[in-house]
Structure 1
Amino acid sequence: MEVTERTSANGLQAHIRGERLATSDGVSSKEILVEIFVRERNEAHIVVPAVAEPLLVWVLSGEAIVEERAAHGEWEANTVRRADFFLTTSPDPYEMRWQVTSPEPFVVMHVYLGLALLERAIAEAGGSGAIQLREVSGGRDDVLSALLEQIRAELTRRGGTSALLIQGVGQCVAVHLARHYVDAGAEDMSRRNALPAFKLKRVIGLMEQHLAEPFRLADLAQAIDLSEYHFSRQFKRATGRSPSQYFIQLRMARARKLLMETERSVIDIGLEVGYGSASHFSQIFRREVGVAPSHYRK
């Protein structure tokens, strides 16, 4: 049975098989967020979030057939390899899947640039300052690749990462996008009512730290200095789910991992993800995943 889930770029590890190799979180400023992932060779379905910022995905190694579509639309396929990139500016979450066709691992780098940084770059390039970038799927740009390679090398170097260098190269990336990828007919991203990537990452991190505790909307909203109303609205715009629904999905992702990788009892796993009784845990698990925990383990 296929289970359709919505996730976020910063919560991918709970939903996509693979490993995060590096992150700029805690190193660079709020104007740029970079993460490097190695992905499994086949991914049947994920949902990419519509956060406030555009998302750059740069292929570091491997070759894959990547398919994308709007929710329940027609799949469109691209064959991508090292140095190809995606520029995503969709105002709504969209679906994605892939199959690796080369022996090399499929490694990608995600880059988010802050809206204020992009606004400055577009204004300097002679634009209106409105953030209107076009979508790119499986594109190739040697200048952009050279800039992104500097970020990758700095993020993975031994001996410490320079926040100043990542910030400076991030500014160069913003100027390059402003000069070559502006689309006057696109939506102004600065008007998008979605959470910025660094806030989304912080909230999801807090959720993951407290899966065994009751869901507290007020605490999450306070952590990123928003009212409960605005936080809920912007979170759902980014991920396609309300904060409470997303919290349950994180609990179920953790439960699935424990069921597959450990011999712990269903009761113990239910307690670890916040359910005081086996019956309540089984009820929620069946509703969200489609089968009972014991059947899922088999």
Structure 2
Amino acid sequence: MHTAERTSATGLEAHIRGERLAASDDVAANDVLAQIFIRERIEQSVIVPAVAEPLIVWVLSGQATIEEREAGEEWMASEVTQDDFFLTTTAVPYEMRWRVSSPEPFVVMHIYLGLQLLERAIQENHQQVTGSIRLREVSGGRDEGLSRLLEQFRIELTHRGETSTLWMQGIAQCIAVHLARNYLDVDAQNIVPRNALPAYKLKRVVNAMEASLAEAFHLGDLAHEAGMSEYHFSRLFKRATGHSPSQYFIKLRMTKAKQLLVETGMSIIDIGLDVGYSSASHFSQVFKREVGVPPSHYRQ
């Protein structure tokens, strides 16, 4: 378990600012992936990746107006408070933004359920279902039974002692059964495309990117991290995030540079070196292209 990890680029969401409070990094990755965040009070735009597993976002504290849309679509708004949840199974990246309206911090938990776990739960509860299956999309919903299960997950995830993998897997199984019983949409298409990138693999790759921002970009190393060929990895990564691996790597570098510009007194030259640019002019050129203003203007 990881606690109080200040970050501007957390594993699955390269551009969501905030503080990661806990994560299930040590739990069997293909069963469940969970993270708890304190979010910034105002977020203008966040791209949520499209991965193989369904995503549950549960509000732990605070009140906020959250808006969602797919590319080119109209914004859809939801007013949410503690215990409200979102259930997403989208096959394409989508955009979110929000504004917190309460004095309490805005804390959320993200859970990606393993696809095989969910399919076993669906088969057990709906043996007559054949062909295409998926879960209903929910925005700002409320479900007391689901909240009780998620609260057990939160307690275990933030426990001061050793997190039990077996316990977390057991709760994940209960959540999968609850979703299969209450949120199945048998008339829709597949849960997700079978060739989508699993969330735990995306997290593993982005973590590797974050750990090597000062180094040269190597597609082969990232593909190896995901256990795929370079071609297959590049295609699925872009499908999940909307960016090629190299473009995403540059965006991570710029996110880290923006954080250092605002939160530290490091020189622009040193910040450029810290994110992999040996030339200050090259760093400034890339920063201006990606962010819209030079580093010196952004700091001001």
TM (norm. structure 2) is 0.93
**Does the aligned pair in 1 maintain the 2:65–2:78 contact within 8 Å?**
yes
**Does the aligned pair in 2 maintain the 1:8–1:48 contact within 8 Å?**
no
Which residue does the alignment assign to 2:242?
240
**Does the aligned pair in 2 maintain the 1:130–1:190 contact within 8 Å?**
no
Which residue does the alignment assign to 2:203?
201
**Cα gap change, 1:265 to 1:233, in 2 (>3 Å):** same
Aligned residues: 291
Which residue does the alignment assign to 2:61?
61
| TM-aligned CA deviation for residue 28 of structure 1 | 4.0
Counterpart CA distance in 2 for 1:212 and 1:41 is 30
**Cα gap change, 1:231 to 1:38, in 2 (>3 Å):** same
Counterpart CA distance in 1 for 2:103 and 2:183 is 32
| TM-aligned CA deviation for residue 73 of structure 1 | 1.7
Which residue does the alignment assign to 2:292?
290
Which residue does the alignment assign to 1:78?
78
TM superposition outliers: structure 1 runs of 4+ over 6 Å: none
- 103-112 or 183-192: bigger deviation: 183-192
**Cα gap change, 1:11 to 1:132, in 2 (>3 Å):** closer
Report matched runs for 1:71-220 at 5 Å: 71-126=71-126, 127-128=129-130, 130-220=132-222
**Does the aligned pair in 1 maintain the 2:59–2:109 contact within 8 Å?**
yes
- 123-132 or 17-26: bigger deviation: 123-132
Counterpart CA distance in 2 for 1:63 and 1:129 is 39
**Does the aligned pair in 2 maintain the 1:65–1:99 contact within 8 Å?**
yes
How big is the alpha-carbon RMSD for the aligned residues of Structure 1 and Structure 2? 1.6
**Does the aligned pair in 1 maintain the 2:9–2:256 contact within 8 Å?**
no
**Does the aligned pair in 2 maintain the 1:65–1:98 contact within 8 Å?**
yes
Secondary structure of 1:241's match?
coil
Counterpart CA distance in 1 for 2:186 and 2:207 is 36
Residues 198-235 of structure 1, C-alpha deviations (whole Å, 9 max, x = no match) = 10110000000101111000011011210001100111
> Does structure 1 residue 10 correspond to structure 2 residue 14?
no
**Does the aligned pair in 1 maintain the 2:43–2:98 contact within 8 Å?**
yes
Counterpart CA distance in 1 for 2:117 and 2:71 is 30
**Does the aligned pair in 1 maintain the 2:90–2:192 contact within 8 Å?**
no
Secondary structure of 1:244's match?
helix
Counterpart CA distance in 1 for 2:58 and 2:133 is 21
**Does the aligned pair in 2 maintain the 1:10–1:197 contact within 8 Å?**
no
Secondary structure of 2:135's match?
coil
Secondary structure of 1:38's match?
strand
Paired AA for residue 101 in structure 2: T
Structure 2 gap ranges (5+) = 1-7
Counterpart CA distance in 2 for 1:130 and 1:114 is 18
**Cα gap change, 1:221 to 1:182, in 2 (>3 Å):** same
| TM-aligned CA deviation for residue 129 of structure 1 | 7.3
| TM-aligned CA deviation for residue 10 of structure 1 | 3.0
Counterpart CA distance in 1 for 2:236 and 2:10 is 15
**Cα gap change, 1:29 to 1:90, in 2 (>3 Å):** closer
Counterpart CA distance in 2 for 1:68 and 1:8 is 20
TM (norm. structure 1) is 0.94
Counterpart CA distance in 2 for 1:246 and 1:91 is 19
Secondary structure of 1:214's match?
coil
**Does the aligned pair in 2 maintain the 1:62–1:100 contact within 8 Å?**
yes
Secondary structure of 1:189's match?
coil
Which residue does the alignment assign to 2:33?
33
**Does the aligned pair in 2 maintain the 1:211–1:273 contact within 8 Å?**
yes
Which residue does the alignment assign to 1:3?
none
Secondary structure of 2:56's match?
strand
**Cα gap change, 1:158 to 1:274, in 2 (>3 Å):** same
**Does the aligned pair in 1 maintain the 2:213–2:275 contact within 8 Å?**
yes
Structure 1 gap ranges (5+) = 1-6
- 44-53 or 27-36: bigger deviation: 27-36
**Does the aligned pair in 1 maintain the 2:287–2:293 contact within 8 Å?**
yes
**Does the aligned pair in 1 maintain the 2:12–2:199 contact within 8 Å?**
no
**Does the aligned pair in 2 maintain the 1:64–1:100 contact within 8 Å?**
yes
